[in-house]
Chains A and B, each alone.
Chain A
Amino acid sequence: MVALPLVKPLGLPLEIVEPTMMFYNYIESLPAGSQVVVRAAALSNVENLPVQLAVLKHLFSKNFRIVFYPTSSAEEQVGLKTYYFPKILESPKYGAYFKNKVYGVDYLLLPYMPGGQQALQSFASDAFLLYSGVQDYLGVGLVSSFPIMQYFKSANDWKIWICAGGEPSTTNEMQIVQSRYGVPFLEMAYAMHWALHQTYLATGQIKGMTNGLRGGAEYERLIGEPTAAGLGGMDAISMTYLMIISLLVWGNVGFFAKKYKERKM
């Protein structure tokens, strides 16, 4: 029942919610040459794969300078190198944009620096000091030697921070990037954090947010490149919730029936 829509999508209507529109419109509103910092998520976070791919396609279709900052070992960078970038290259609509991007000039994969919040604080305060004598993730050269880094000296240069959800990373990043330096913040939230982070959306601390797999399906529609993963996935989620609700009804009927029987005895 759950897997069926993955094979044959039901095509249930999907409304694009306001936070996703806000996310998309914020990226659209950024001028060419804007500095964008992206903290992706590891490949194992399946739920966020479609939205990350769609957002990356959107970002690469613009003339932005993009730096990828990892927070947990280098899992995010492995995913970007081996999964996301090849997928973007395959895209009929966005592959050509990515092909024209030059590594080190238009985008850069930063290496992992231990220290969590301290490393991020240091990156935000003085990137050249943190990465002094350190090579980029791909080992092409020293971080400071890439032309793109001239535009990422500190958080004061950043135009937007985009994170791929997860806790406590998101809150830690927000405390430094948004609260301390006032950099606009966009989040590709997991469904389980969607409710929790509504607080930040309401206060304007988050400028736009997507909701797990649903956010992926919505974003794919916004960029005009829907994939089976996003659309069929949403139908599968509908079926999953229906199944869980049916199980809950069944469980509660059984619970009350047992109670009634006990009372009768």
Chain B
Amino acid sequence: MSEILRKQAPISIIFVTTIIVFVNFFEQGNLLFKSATDTLTNMAVIMTGFAFFLVAINLFITYGRVIAKKTKGEWIYAIYALSLFTIYAGLGFLPGYPIGQHPYFLLLYNQAQYHISRSMMAILAFSMVGAAIRAFRMRTFEASLLLLGAVFVWLNTAPIGAVINPNIPVIGQFFLDVPSTAGNRGLLMCVAIGTIAVGIRQMVGLERGHLGIVEG
């Protein structure tokens, strides 16, 4: 493939589309940039739709290989995953109802997936408590501060905090309003500056990894 098609063309497309979307963000009244941006975003929506099909195909290819090779400890789960995928997707397309509206499809969601997801969340609570207990050991001064902050914020959230002492929610709110907000803002600013930097690098073609161009 020529150098132009492999490198210059994708970089030029990225540059032009970025400029169009960028100008539209700040120049809201410009109809030319608005319609160009609308077309581009709708193209992205359509491409994402196709990506879902690709994921489904990829799932069958990957798990199909595992089943064909009878990979030890994996093939049975691959059959299980593919069967569930086929049943769930199939029920969504059953005739007589709009897509995803068949009572069997909704039944499977409400009676299986819903409860499984809730159970997963409940199980997560135990591991979170375990992790919290390990993290909140007062090994250092910083860890002690973390523990202190956490206790006040918890008691601020739960009504029992105000029952124990009316000042507890006030202190808890202080932790949220001042140290927590300040820390979050600092973090968000860092992320924003980093994102801008990466965006500019991609726009001008300095960052090419996402195009599959690796230069070393």
Contact = CB atoms under 8 A, between A and B. Distances in A.
A91 interface: no
Given A12-B163, A241-B155, A252-B137, A199 B45 contact: no
A146 B77 CA distance: 45
B114 to A, nearest CB: 5
A46 B138 CA distance: 32
A10 B51 CA distance: 51
Interface stretch (B5-13, B68-76, B99-107): B99-107
Contacts of B109: 75, 78, 82
A239 to B, nearest CB: 8
B143 to A, nearest CB: 10
A240 B138 CA distance: 21
Range, interface on chain B: 35 or more
B3 interface: no
A194 B158 CA distance: 13
Interface in B175-216: 176-177, 180-181, 184-185, 188
Contacts of B139: 255
B83 interface: no
Contacts of A15: 159, 162, 169
Interface in A31-47: 42-46
A58 B127 CA distance: 36
A195 interface: yes
A129 B117 contact: no
Contact of B180 (A78, A82, A195): A195
B38 interface: yes
Contacts of A240: 158
B180 A121 contact: no
B45 A13 contact: no
Contacts of A74: 100
B141 interface: no
Given A46-B121, A139-B101, A195-B180, A244 B38 contact: no
Interface of B: 25, 34, 37-38, 41-42, 44-45, 47-49, 51-52, 97-101, 106, 109-110, 113-114, 117-118, 120-121, 129, 132-133, 136-139, 147, 151, 153-155, 157-160, 162-163, 169, 176-177, 180-181, 184-185, 188
